[in-house]
Amino acid sequence: MTGPAIRPGGVELTARAIEFCSFPKGARLLDVGCGEGATVSYLRSSCQFEVSGIDSSSRLVTDGIAKDPNLLMMIGKAEELPFDNCSFDGILCECVLSLIHEPEKALKEFNRVLATGGHLILSDIYLRGVSAGGHLPESAADDCLKGTLPIDFTIKMLEEAGFSILLQEDHTRCLREMAARLILAGKSLDGFCANMESKSSVGGKPGYYLIVARKD
């Protein structure tokens, strides 16, 4: 239904971001929240990058390595990356930031392990039609949009972590298409935003963004 990359937009959205960044052949990339390694495999085979993956789920990492022992993946937390400073040319964090307990801490870790001028690729669900006003809306954690934020708050966190925004695109269509495919396949939308036009407890509707930022 969704392809090997179980997220809105799949690897097509990943390819869009990679093309924008213009990484050179052999670039060192890290996929944070790699799951079973669909993106790691894609970037290694199709783009010839040196790609590593990290995920907090030992089951997903173990299953991914069992499928392809050549994948470089490990178990770990986004807030405590086990890598040296300036280790990577690019970091991908796709449909994961909203699941991280301490996103501000994770973004600072991304900045630490990125080389100067390195790119951070983020895609995730966000709250449309609501502004954080510089403050985290605590009530957003009470409904199906748990962990999602207004886009201006995400940008504020990025800037405070030392990033400049190079690209910001709305891909809410990808979220709608994923929900439609799940419904057509007879799958339950429990835990997923079944009604794309319903509002969260803070008034925002679910959307999906792609952001590319650069470490200054």
What span, in angstroms and rounded, lies between the C-alpha atoms of 176 and 156?
26
Give the per-residue pLDDT at 26: 93
What span, in angstroms and rounded, lies between the C-alpha atoms of 65 and 73?
7
- SS3 percent helix, strand, coil of the chain, rounded to 5, is 35, 30, 40
* The two structure tokens encoding residue 7: 């997220």
**What is the CATH number that goes with domain 10-215?**
3.40.50.150
DSSP 8-state code for residue 48: -
Give the per-residue pLDDT at 132: 60
Query: pLDDT by residue for the chain (216 residues), tens digit each?
Result: 445 556 788 889 999 999 999 999 999 999 999 999 999 999 998 888 999 999 999 999 999 999 999 999 999 999 999 999 999 999 999 999 999 999 999 999 999 999 999 999 999 999 987 766 544 555 444 445 667 889 999 999 999 999 999 999 999 998 888 777 666 666 655 555 545 555 555 556 889 999 999 998
Question: Domain spans of the chain?
Answer: 10-215
Please, is 36 exposed, middle or buried when counting C-beta atoms within 10 Å of its C-beta (0-12, 13-18, 19+)?
A: buried
